[in-house]
């Protein structure tokens, strides 16, 4: 008896499909897929969320000094003349950052093994690189889903059947975060 469904795909295709669907589920909160795929994605997603819940508070706050360029009201760097050359003016700023403890760093890397990187593109600039930004899904899991599901003992996702697909009759479902 197999411990997982093969979904009619080779192992590399199956892993890519499941990683893609887990990433979409974490990013959007719900996906529409077939029942067999949803059951496989549910296993993976529940495991990742359980990891995020376990490690949500496992960090320490550290104050660091950083050299930051001074900017004017337009957001451009302020230049000053030193020895006849234009040089950017910098100031020292103290920042408080979260430093992961070793077990949280391990959990972060385990989650990153599964999730694909997501780039958010604004609607008005579709097709252009300007104003695109990387979405940090791991931070979203630790800061949003960790505290949200801290009181639950598993069961972070639900499957709702929505009927059979017209083309091949496969049972379609909505997989969503509770």
Domains of the chain: 11-58+101-177 (3.90.1030.10), 59-100 (no CATH)
Residue 176 CA to residue 168 CA, distance in Å, equals 23
- Residue 121: pLDDT band by 50, 70, 90 thresholds? confident
Which structure tokens are listed for 141? 């899991």
For the entire predicted model, the pTM comes to 0.84
Nearest to 169 by CA among 19, 34, 17, 16: 34
CA distance linking residue 4 with residue 145, whole number of Å: 26
Here the tokens at position 84 are 């006849």
Judged against a pLDDT cut of 70, whether residue 4 lies above it is answered with yes
Q: What are 131-147's pLDDT values in tens digits?
A: 788 999 999 999 999 99
- What's the CA gap between 102 and 30, in Å, rounded? 31
Contacts of 93 (CB under 8 A, 6+ apart): 65, 66, 67, 68
Q: What is the pLDDT of residues 29-52, one digit of tens each?
A: 999 999 999 999 999 999 999 999
């Amino acid at each position: 008896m197999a411990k997982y469904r093969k979904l009619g795909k080779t192992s590399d295709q199956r892993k890519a499909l499941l990683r893609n669907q887990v990433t979409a589920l974490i990013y959007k909160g719900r996906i529409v897929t077939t029942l067999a795929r949803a059951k496989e994605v549910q296993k993976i997603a529940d495991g990742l969320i359980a990891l995020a819940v376990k490690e949500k508070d496992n960090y320490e706050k550290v104050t660091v000094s950083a050299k930051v360029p001074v900017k004017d009201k337009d957001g451009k760097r302020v230049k000053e003349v030193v020895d006849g050359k234009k040089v950017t003016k910098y100031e020292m700023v103290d920042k408080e950052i979260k430093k992961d403890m070793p077990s949280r760093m391990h959990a972060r890397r385990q989650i990153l093994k599964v999730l694909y990187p997501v780039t958010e593109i604004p609607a008005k600039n579709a097709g252009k690189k300007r104003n695109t930004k990387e979405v940090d899904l791991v931070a979203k899991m630790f800061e949003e889903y960790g505290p949200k599901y801290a009181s639950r003992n598993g069961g972070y996702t639900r499957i709702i059947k929505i009927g059979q697909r017209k083309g091949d009759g496969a049972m379609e479902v909505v997989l969503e975060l509770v």
